[in-house]
Structures are given as structure tokens and as C-alpha cells.
Amino acid sequence: MATNEHKKLANTVKSFHESLRHLSQQEGAQKAWKEHLKQSGRLKEYANAMHQLAKIWEDNTTREGLLAKSRIKWTIEFCLAYFYTEHIYLEKRAREQRLLGSWFEFDCSQCHYMENVPEKIKVLDVGSCFNPFAKVPYFEVTSIDLCPATDDVLQGDFLNIQIKSMKNPKVGLENNVVNYLPAMYYECVIFSLLLEYMPTSEQRINCCCKAYELLKSEGILVIITPDSDHVGKNAALMKNWRYTLGCLGFMRIRFEKLPHITCLVFRKAIDSRVPERWSILHKESYMDLSIEIPQDSKTKKVAASFGEKGKT
């Protein structure tokens, strides 16, 4: 059961997200985001609340029988299975090759493969807050956040960070702020509780497009999103996410609904035509190029009600 402190921290986070979404509805996404970045005091309050919530959550999941609920542990275990113990990347490579054969007569002129399994997985943790993956022995982590809660997290606005192709890949820092990242460098990009922070679908898609540019072929995008509803409640939204990410060049390779969170993994395909073709074949009438979250509809209803009041 949640303590009063837990509830207070959760309300701080929720109200922060709601105010940013409302501001975007009123001012437009770009203007709202610029104003948002200037609110250093609120950003620090949010970072502290997220840090404290994470401690409470992970402490609770260390109890016997609850380990599977840890988003951090889930991510670590899947990465281990994907690259090392189960070689999931080879299984998914073979599937994509079969699809290429059936759809394009195995025209592999655009195929790109991961050359070797890395000794350490180069991980980019976006919206990291407190660098929860820092001590994983087979991770080489770059962690960034708008307002870091700990000193080992780099400050950076992912929406506005440039991506550069470099012979000698490095993180570009100016005044201790990240302003560019190396293209096609990372084997894993993590969006843990990040996309719901973004107030609009367009910004969420922008984040995913950047992840695609940053990943090596056969690299993975891990998305953890809060979801306390039963597995079928948001099924249409999740299918639309799969359709949209497919259009961007990603194949979904894992979906797991846990209590309070949904865990997804998308793989940068060896040939972007494969996920694009999959999306076309599986598109349903309601689907479009968007990444919506349940809170979006609530925000739109509130905005509409205010609009109606303004007319009276």
C-alpha cells in the first residue's frame, strides 16, 4: 500500500505532467517547451520527486516475489538475453530475413547487421534522473536528463540535441550541457518513463526518430511506460504505437504488461522496408502516425470544456 509520502511524490509528478500538457494546448508545443525549460525550480522539484519515488519503488520490489515488477531489473535482464545468453538478436535477424524473402525476394541490398556482440553494451539512458544502470558490469552508460538528480547524469534537452556522424564518436559538451550525440553508436537506447513526460505525440515521435538515428543496426529501443490498467484497456493505443514505430523502421520484439507498467522493446531492423511493410499490412482503420498516451484524451477534454466555458 502506498504511504502518504509516496502519494505526495506521485501527485507532484502527475501535476507536473498535467500542467505541461495544458500549457502545450494553450501556447503550442514549441513555445510551451521553451517556457518549461526556464522553470528551473520546478524542474528540480520534479527531479527530486522522481528520484525519491524510484527509491521507494525499487526498495519495494526487492521483497521476495516482487522482483519482476522492477523496471530496472526487467531492462537489464532483457538486454542480457538479447545480446548474450539467448542471442535473441540472431533469432530476430533470421525472422527479418524470412520476411525479406517473402516480400522482396530477399533483396538484401539495404541490409545492415551488427558486426559483433559488444563486450559492453553502449547504452543511452534518456531522462535518466539518477543513472540507475551505472553499476551494471556489461553496460557502458551515457545518461542524460533535463535536470539531473545526481552528479553522474549529464544535463541535456533530448528534443534539441543534435545527432552527428563522427569518425571518432563522442558526446558533445558545451558548458557541461550535452549539445550533440554520435549517430549509429549505441546498441541500446532506454526511454524509461520518458514518453509520457513529453506533452505531445509529435514530440514523442521526435524522440523515437532520434533513437533510430542513434542506434546501430539491430540495436534496441527499450520503452517503459506507466500503466496500472488491465492489459486490454490500452490495447488500441499500444497497437498504434507498434504501427507508428514500424513506419519509423522499428520492429517490436517484446511486449510485457506488468503491474503498473508496460515494458516494450523495439529493434532497429536490418532493412527498414521490413517494419514499414509490416505496418502497411497490419494497419487498422483507426491507426495513424501518432504516439498517444491515455492522458492525452483527458487533456483534450479539459481543454474543450474550458473552450466551451469561454464561449458562454
Per-domain boundaries in the chain: 4-67, 71-297
pLDDT at position 66 is 46
Nearest partner of 290 among 205, 176, 210, judged by Cα: 205
pLDDT at position 76 is 96
Exposure of 173 in the CB half-sphere (CA atoms within 13 A)? 10
Beta bridge partners of 141: 123
Exposure of 31 in the CB half-sphere (CA atoms within 13 A)? 7
3-state secondary structure of 221: strand
pLDDT at position 49 is 87
Place of cell 545468453: 85
As given in the structure block, the three cell numbers for residue 124 are 543511452
Known binding residues for S-adenosyl-L-methionine are 127, 145
Count of all residues that appear for the chain in the document: 312
- Residues 33-48 pLDDT 10s: 999 999 999 999 898 8
User: What is the C-alpha separation between 147 and 44, in angstroms, rounded?
Assistant: 6
pLDDT at position 63 is 54
Per-residue b or e along 274-291, where b marks 16 or more CB atoms closer than 10 Å to that residue's CB: bbbbbbeeeeeeebeebb
- Residues 63-110 pLDDT 10s: 544 444 588 999 999 999 999 999 999 999 999 999 999 998 878 888
Residue 204 burial by Cβ neighbours in a 10 Å radius (0-12, 13-18, 19+)? buried
Stretches where the chain sits below pLDDT 70 are 1-3, 57-69, 298-312
Say which DSSP state 138 is in: T
As given in the structure block, the three cell numbers for residue 136 are 551494471
pLDDT at position 312 is 47
Known binding residues are 127, 145
What letter represents residue 208's amino acid? Answer: C
- Indicate the pTM of the whole model: 0.91
CA 139 to mean position of chain CA atoms? 18
User: What is the C-alpha separation between 268 and 212, in angstroms, rounded?
Assistant: 7
The verdict on domain 71-297 having CATH code 3.30.2000.10 is: no
3-state secondary structure of 65: coil
